[in-house]
Structure 1
Amino acid sequence: MTNIYFIGCDAVHPDSFVFDIPEGHDCWLLVHTKTPALFLVNSEIKEYPAHSAVLFRPHQKIYYRACADKYINDWIRFDSTESYITATTLPFGVPFSLDDPEYCHQLFHLLSIENFSNKNYKESSIDYLLRTLFNKLLESYDSDNVSPLYYELLNLRVKIHNNPGNHWTVPIMADYLHISPGYLQTLYKNTFYISCMDDVIGSRIHMSKEYLIHGANSIAEISTFCGYNNVEHFCRQFKQLTGNTPGTFRMKAVHSSTPLVASNNEH
């Protein structure tokens, strides 16, 4: 059971902002800094960069303040009996950097919306969102060697799989991340264990299976939808990766008593 007392998202404070609670709160406090800030850690005031997170347990001394023209943060004060919070391995009162601050910020935003709603599933939605937020915090805290470009790479991969019909080339993908084509290919393969172009092909074949199983479009139309310039190339690549031509695959799906499931495990 979790109860949110107060939550702020993109809260802006002046340069004179100081938050000083010697005895701490009676509940938990989670802060995400969007600008640099000064925190009291081990009896010493230290500056921590933007996009840091810090968790204060109940009755823990809290002290932090602005160190620039303004201070911006997301924050939430809450009670909870959930073990993912009460038994967390996150440090208390010690800021740490977030690998994907924008993702975490969006979770704060969604938590804020749910907190002020009056919908039937408000409590469970808040619990799921907070669980996800704590998972992302743990991923950041436990990560030792996450590439600075990891989440940009991940966003690129999501774009590829959501839009396989786009004209994806290595230079176009590299330009998306503002890095060289050679560096992209190395980084992508090391991160996802598949080359970027093989991932494009896999996403196209996966999407084509969906059209073949669930749609009535012609194979030529599906070929175009999935980013192929000619149907012969599509059919050749489809058979190479699945063992069937698109026509045979569709026929088996139609006549199978157990509908085929479009799998994305060719690679």
Structure 2
Amino acid sequence: MPTIHYVEYDAAHPDDFVYSIPEGLDAWLLVLTQTPAVFKVNGEMKEFPAHSVVLYPPKHSIYYRACSNRYVNDWVRFDADESYITEAVLPLGTPFSLPDPGYCHQLFQLLTLENSFQNDYRELSINNLFRIFFNKLCEASQDKLSPQYYNLLDLRKTLYNNPGHPWTVSSMAEHLHISAGYLQTIYKSTFGISCMEDVIHCRIRMAKEKLGFGPYKIAEVAALCGYANVEHFCRQFRQLTGYSPRAYRDKLAAKETKDPADQ
């Protein structure tokens, strides 16, 4: 299992920060930037944006520095011989962008906590967190992110967290300060679904939860999920689930009644 020498998140440095080890380390180094930084890649100095990640294997030359008024990163130095790390198909010593840097930042926080406390399953938890991290790195290394990607991701998270909001394409476009037509084009090319279809799917998922586990009337569920018209809600619910809201609720109720007798 991976052995952590040191792990830290939200490490802040002044504008003159430089980290240079030409001969490399005796361990692996994984760095996630929160601010822009300059990295030496194949002998050339290149500036990379915030939310870049770079993996250095043992003995690999390391050089990176601040390029703004401060430099902030998450990083971990560790030993490992697990194949999911040593054989991962990743660009070594070359930064690349992460689709969801907030998620990986949380993984750094969890690694720091697990490494700090002597819990019974500490080593297993650390190994599992590394596995998740390297899964995300492998996914990210295959993606080509558009300049608007992070803004789109933030918008999508907002949609998923609040599907009952009266979303329109125009209001979502205003959220990103782009035209409605451009939003529709880049949203579908990025996520494989149009922005309004995404909203509808989120609303129906929420409605299924409310119908199955809440005391709400169907009209109340419709309102909670952002529908001003109950008939419109029922029509979209049937289109996506094959059931009317009432039939879906009755099906769940019948299943709950039947299950105890089966045991």
Regarding TM over 0.5, the answer is yes
Distance 1:18 1:241 in 2: 54
Q: CA deviation at 1:38?
A: 4.2
Structure 1 ranges of 4+ moved more than 6 A:
none
1:95 counterpart = 2:95: yes
Partner of 1:19: 19
**Gapped regions of structure 1 (runs ≥ 5):** 260-267
Q: CA deviation at 1:16?
A: 4.1
CA deviation profile, 1:167-217 (whole Å, cap 9, x unmatched): 111122222222211211222233333322222222222222222222332
Q: CA deviation at 1:87?
A: 1.0
Partner of 2:254: 255
Q: CA deviation at 1:244?
A: 3.0
CA deviation profile, 1:3-49 (whole Å, cap 9, x unmatched): 1111122222344434333442221111223344444444x351332
RMSD of aligned Cα (Å)? 2.7
Q: CA deviation at 1:125?
A: 2.7
Q: What SS does the corresponding residue of 1:55 show, helix, strand or coil?
A: strand
Q: What SS does the corresponding residue of 1:29 show, helix, strand or coil?
A: strand
Q: Structure 1 pair 183/108, CA: closer, same or farther in 2 (3 Å)?
A: same
For 1:196, the aligned partner's letter is C
- Spell out the pairing of 1:207-222 with structure 2 (5 A cutoff): 207-222=206-221
What is the total number of aligned residue pairs between the two structures?
257
Moved more, 8-17 or 223-232: 8-17
TM-score by length of 1: 0.82
The 8 Å contact of residues 36 and 47 in structure 1, kept in 2 or not, is answered as no
Distance 2:99 2:56 in 1: 20
Distance 2:152 2:56 in 1: 32
Distance 2:37 2:241 in 1: 54
Q: What SS does the corresponding residue of 2:60 show, helix, strand or coil?
A: coil
Q: What SS does the corresponding residue of 2:156 show, helix, strand or coil?
A: helix
- Spell out the pairing of 1:143-222 with structure 2 (5 A cutoff): 143=143, 145-222=144-221
Q: Structure 1 pair 67/167, CA: closer, same or farther in 2 (3 Å)?
A: closer
1:128 counterpart = 2:136: no
For 2:120, the aligned partner's letter is N
Distance 1:242 1:73 in 2: 44
- Report percent identity of matched pairs: 56
Distance 2:80 2:214 in 1: 47
Distance 1:40 1:253 in 2: 59
Q: What SS does the corresponding residue of 1:136 show, helix, strand or coil?
A: helix
CA deviation profile, 1:89-125 (whole Å, cap 9, x unmatched): 2233233344444443333233222222333333233
CA deviation profile, 1:149-182 (whole Å, cap 9, x unmatched): 2343233333323322111111222222222112
Distance 1:71 1:161 in 2: 32
For 1:134, the aligned partner's letter is F
- Spell out the pairing of 1:221-260 with structure 2 (5 A cutoff): 221-256=220-255, 257=258
The 8 Å contact of residues 28 and 57 in structure 2, kept in 1 or not, is answered as yes
For 1:223, the aligned partner's letter is A
The 8 Å contact of residues 39 and 48 in structure 2, kept in 1 or not, is answered as no
For 1:201, the aligned partner's letter is I
